[in-house]
Every structure is written in structure tokens, then in C-alpha cells.
Structure 1
């Protein structure tokens, strides 16, 4: 018998009211397979069901409104029809005994007018463009200077999160994760490199964290807090992000989240391979931040089976999220247990397309 089966990764645990049969979490993975109208598809049900042996699946980012969209082919959760389509996916996961939470997502300025309703500009805390190019239906184009949200528009965004949370509940998800990471809207408000506002949503860390906390409170007015997670990324430079004092920013945010009885906190600990920090960008040792959070912690970013087991065994993490390995290996849980090699996915099929490179990776048993 493989001794790795005796690893703490294969013990049951709870993240709030989410009862996990193992501590291997499937991280959210953008795959761009939705149909027209941001509709989830039957092929997506197959994809998620194949990976249902994970202790918990966090869905790909799902935009809470048409203005929250930043990529071709990403799914939505803002209409009743979308909610019904997601129910087919949650039912497929539950049929294999799995758990799945939906990741609530608004990309903010990480978009382009060609992806926005009526060709409007993307929205953001401040009128600051991301450096570089964005993928659009017309190919790669420069990021545009976004529209800075008014206070009234911010109120509307909060209500969009609340509405999406209700639709996620109707769709049969086991909970939701609020995406506050990787340079998307909530992260843009939180970090001062993207937020230059001078009103109640800018300036001090208390003001910059206001939208994140309002969204958490709105979502937990729909879901029990014990079924709501939050994802943050204090060191990720993706989408042109930085913060002048990430320890101060994220220790405050985590301390405030800690008071809300959430199911878990999910941190992208380093850079997630999504970009290189600019020279001199302040970074923070995540170990310094963890004392500000006393709930269940899900670690993420470059873990192996051995390092994940060590993180759980030491008590540093309740569970560990794996991302890219789940693309090419629907059976990550079994492969780690057997000590089998993890297949590298075909990079040409990561974003968009059909079944090839999506649902045709064979499991070990095959």
C-alpha cells in the first residue's frame, strides 16, 4: 500500500460548514468554454464531474454581471437561465459525491470595451490603465483607461454580487468564493497601486477595503457565512498590481474578514506564475499575515504533494489548493495517492476550444 495514503491530505476536514472528504482543493481555473450569452454548457458538466474526487472544487471565475466580463468564453451568473445551466453542473459533481463552490468574479479594469455591453469602457476604482495588452475578440490590443466608478455605481456593484449569490444558491452550489485576488475589481480597490480615490473608497486602508467588506456582507446576507470563502493575493503583480505596504493592507483586510465567521480564506501566496513584479515592488511574507486570520486557511501556489502534506501536518493550512495539475489530471487525488506522475497540460488548449485538452485527459484507471 502506498504510504502517501496515510498523508494528512487524505483525512476529512471542515471549511466552515463545508465537509471535505480530503484536503485537496481544486483551485479556480479559467478555461473559456462557455457558450454565447456567457452560458455554462454540458461539456463543462463533464469537466467538473471528472474532477469531483477533490475535497472541494472552486469553480472558474464566474462574472456577476455583463460588465464584470474580461475574457471571451467565460461564464456568467447574472441570469436565471445561467443559474439553471449551472444546476446541471452542480448535480453532476454531487452525483460523484463532490462539493463545488462558485467563484464570484468581477474583472474591473482587466477588460476591454469590445467585451463590454454597448462598447462601454471597463470600470475600476480610478481611471488608471493596466500596462500592456489585453486579449479581445479582435486580437491583442492595449488596455484602455477605465471609467472610475461613482459611489452610486459602487452601490450597484454590491447589489450585483448579492444577486449573483442568490442565483448561485438557486443553482445548487455548496457555497461561494469571493474573488478578491489577481488584479480584478476588489483587488483593484484594495491595493493603492490601482486605487487613487479621495472619497470613502480610497486613501486609507480602511477606505480601500470598504468595497471588499461590503461585498462580503452582501453575500453573507444570502449565504451563511460558514459557506462563504474569500480569495486574496497580496504578492501577485498580475494585471499591473502593486501596493506600497502590502503587510499593512492585507493584515487589516484579513483581520476584518476574521470577524465575519467565514468558511475559509484562500491565499495566492506568491505570484502564481501570472507575472513578474516590477523592480522594487514591496512584497510580504505570508507567514507574517497568517496571525491575523484564525479560521480555516487554504494555501495556494506551487505546492507539491509533499509540501502540501507538510503544510497540513504542521497546522499551517487546513487544506491546499492545486490549480494547473487539475487541468491535465482529472484524478489529481488518485495520482498523489499513488505517487504517479502528474501530466502537463497542452498549453494550446488552456483557453477556449472544445473537448480536446479539456475533458479528454485519461485518468489512471484508463
Structure 2
């Protein structure tokens, strides 16, 4: 067994549906834009995930739950049979070296454009973004005023999440993650800076979290609670999110997730992705205390932390948590380091330097292996 807590095996959940994971190094979800224009995964994506399959868990790039919800050029979807079939070899490749793989279910809401979505974007409220947003071929266009979903339309979107979860299961994913972060649709309901509704989906914190609760209940009919992650970004300014009451809002959100005993709460606690500065930072310690207060002596939820961690800071975070009375297990998701260093785990194990960060231009949207699957591996050195 490794002396590194980060590299030691652990579990997500308990009981028959628990997941054995080979280490606490998770790959964070990152949109890379290598699917077809029809949002069908391509074989090159299998090579990409296979190269990174020594992780404990690979969380896929954001996967559109519907045409309405996917406004990112060449991002993959999972609402059709063709997309689902194309995911199967990609997921199989992602498990080559022992990783488990979760599909991150994504609805962009007002952050998408009708050029890609094929209809006017939707949101919790009729509040457009204030800055240009990406459309086809990565052209940036003026934002459109979104349509505020009616309760009946909300119910249909909830069903879209259920359909996407069923397709993810058919494709072989071990679990799913609800993208409730970064100002996308779920976050557009959670955040008071965006959601100005006056019906049962707006106003109070309880009402604003209703959509998240309903989506979670829907996907729980497909996957057991141990196989579900929810990503939250209480500190984030991305997507023009960030509200003065975020500490209170996300405290209640995590209380609910802990009461449901879901497998993973994925908290973007680091501030390197942009901090809105409208309230105090929401910390990993705050999340651990909430999970502990709710689950008492039977703590089953793993806290996954993200944004700006290094091997050393990840080790310290895990050690601090496991040293506490009634410890909450912690893992760390690495994003940008995984773009240019596919064998991140092996480098951590051997104390080797990581590859230089990939340039911003390589992050998404080409049709070649360049900047995607051509980064050097230790085995090739």
C-alpha cells in the first residue's frame, strides 16, 4: 500500500452498490469539443480517456442531456441511441487501467446559443448573459434572452435528465454526475443573482433548490445513490454566477445531498477559477462539517474537492480530513494538469515532473490529435 493517502484505494458509498476505486485522484470534467457536429462521440475520445485511465474516477466532459440543453459546439450528447452507442467503446477504453467512469450530465441553460441548441435558450428567469457566448465553429455571438421555463416545462427537463441517466447506464458508465455548478441550468435555479422567480421554483432557498431536488430524485430512479455525484460551485463567478447568500444556499444544498446519502459531493472550493467575492469563501471544511452533522456516525458521502490543487496540497487536505473525529473521506479532482499530463497518477507515484501546461488554444475544438492525445508519457521518455 502506498504511503500517499492520495494514491491509496478507497470506496465511494457503502453496501452492495459501493464503488471500489483504486486511488483518490479523480479527473475533473473538462469540455474538449471533439465530438461530431451532431454531438456524437468519436473514437479519438476513447484514446483520450484510455490514456488517463489510471485515475480513481474519470468524470467525463459535460454531456448534453438534450438538444435544448447543449449549446457547445462539438460537445458530446447522450440523448439519442446513436450517441449512446458511440459512448460504449469510449467508456470501455476509459476503464482500461482500472478507473471508474462517471458521465457528467449537463444542461447549459442561458449559456448556450440557438445556433447550436436549435431553439431559444431556456433558464430559470428571463435574464440574458451580459457578454458574448460561443456558438458554432467557436464564433462568439451576442447572448440571447432566455425563455423562463414554466413548471410544466421544468417537469419535461427533469425527465430529460432521467433519459440521459438511463442512456449513461446503457453506455456502461459506473455512475453519473449532475452538473450543478458554473452558472449552468441547475445553478441558474440555485443562485439568487439569477433566479428572480416568484413561483414555487424561486424566492426562498428551499424553492430555488427545488429543481436540483427534483432532478436528483429522477436520476435516483436509475442509479443507486452511491453512484451519483453532484457538482457545486458556491465560490464561482463563471457564467455570471455568485450570490450574496451563497453560503446559506449551498449549506442547505449539501445538507440535502447528505440526507440522500449520495456517493459524492463535488465541491469546487478552490478560488483559481474565479471568485465572486460577494460572501465569504465556501471551504472544504464547511462542507465536511455539514456532511458530518447530517450523517452523524454513519458517514457515507465522499467529498471531492477541486480547483488549483497540487499533489502536496491534496495530500494535506485528505490527511486533515481523515485525522478529524468522525472523518469524512476526501478525494481531489485535477483538471488542467490532466490535459497535458495523461499519466498524472504515474508521475505522482514516481515523483516525476508534470508536462508543461497546454496552451489555451489546445483546450477544445480541433479535429486532430494535436493538443488532445499527443502529450508525452513517461513510458515514452
Task: Provide the TM-score with structure 1 as the length reference.
Answer: 0.95
Cα distance, 1:257 vs structure 2: 0.9
Question: How many residues are matched?
Answer: 358
SS in 2 for 1:239: helix
**Could you tell me which residue of structure 1 aligns to residue 298 of structure 2?**
none
Question: Where do residues 51-62 of structure 1 align in structure 2 (5 Å cutoff)?
Answer: 51-62=52-63
1:304 to 307, 310, 313: 310
Tell me if the contact between 1:258 and 1:293 (Cα under 8 Å) persists in the aligned partners: yes
The DSSP-based 3-state class of the residue aligned with 2:211 is helix
Residue 314 of structure 1 aligns to a residue in which SS?
A: helix
Matched with 1:323 is: 335
Distance 2:5 2:31 in 1: 28
Secondary structure in 2 matching 1:70: coil
Pick aligned residue for 1:10 from 4, 7, 11: 7
| TM-aligned CA deviation for residue 5 of structure 1 | 4.8
**Partners of 2:71 and 2:114 within 8 A in 1:** no
Q: Could you tell me which runs of 5 or more consecutive residues in structure 1 were left unpaired when the two chains were aligned.
A: none
| TM-align CA RMSD | 1.5
Q: Which residue of 2 aligns with 1:22?
A: 23
How does 1:154-169 map onto structure 2 within 5 Å?
154-169=154-169
Alignment partner, residue 179 of structure 2: 179
2:136: which partner in 1?
137
TM-score between the two structures when normalised by the length of structure 2 = 0.91
CA distance in 2, matches of 1:281, 1:111: 25
Task: Give the Cα–Cα distance (whole angstroms) in 1 for the partners of residues 312 and 271 of structure 2.
Answer: 20
Q: Find the residue that maps to 2:79 and give its secondary structure.
A: coil
Q: Does 1:128 align with 2:140?
A: no
Instruction: State the Cα distance separating 1:272 from its structure 2 match.
Output: 4.2
Task: Provide the rounded CA distance (Å) in 2 between the counterparts of 1:146 and 1:76.
Answer: 21
Secondary structure, aligned partner of 2:346: helix
Equivalent residue for 1:348?
361
Shift of 1:229: 0.7
Is residue 237–residue 271 contact of structure 1 (8 Å, CA) maintained in 2? no
Give how far 1:357 is off.
0.5
Shift of 1:276: 5.3
CA distance, structure 2, for counterparts of residue 346 and residue 339 of structure 1: 24
Aligned twin of 1:200: 200
What SS does the corresponding residue of 2:304 show, helix, strand or coil? strand
| SS of structure 2 residue aligned to 1:206 | helix
Distance 2:47 2:282 in 1: 38
Distance 1:168 1:284 in 2: 34
After superposing the two structures, state which structure 1 stretch, 36-45 or 314-323, moved more: 314-323
**Separation (CA, whole Å) in 2 of partners of 1:202 and 1:211:** 10
Which consecutive unaligned segments of at least 5 residues does structure 2 have? 293-300, 323-328
| Separation (CA, whole Å) in 2 of partners of 1:149 and 1:283 | 31
Q: Give the corresponding residue for 2:32.
A: 31
Is the 8 Å Cα contact of residues 124 and 146 (structure 1) preserved in structure 2? Answer: yes
- Please give the alpha-carbon distance, in whole angstroms, between the structure 2 residues aligned to 1:346 and 1:337: 25
Q: How far did residue 96 of structure 1 move? A: 2.6
Please name the residue that 1:285 is paired with.
Answer: 282
Q: Distance in 1 between matches of 2:311 and 2:270?
A: 18
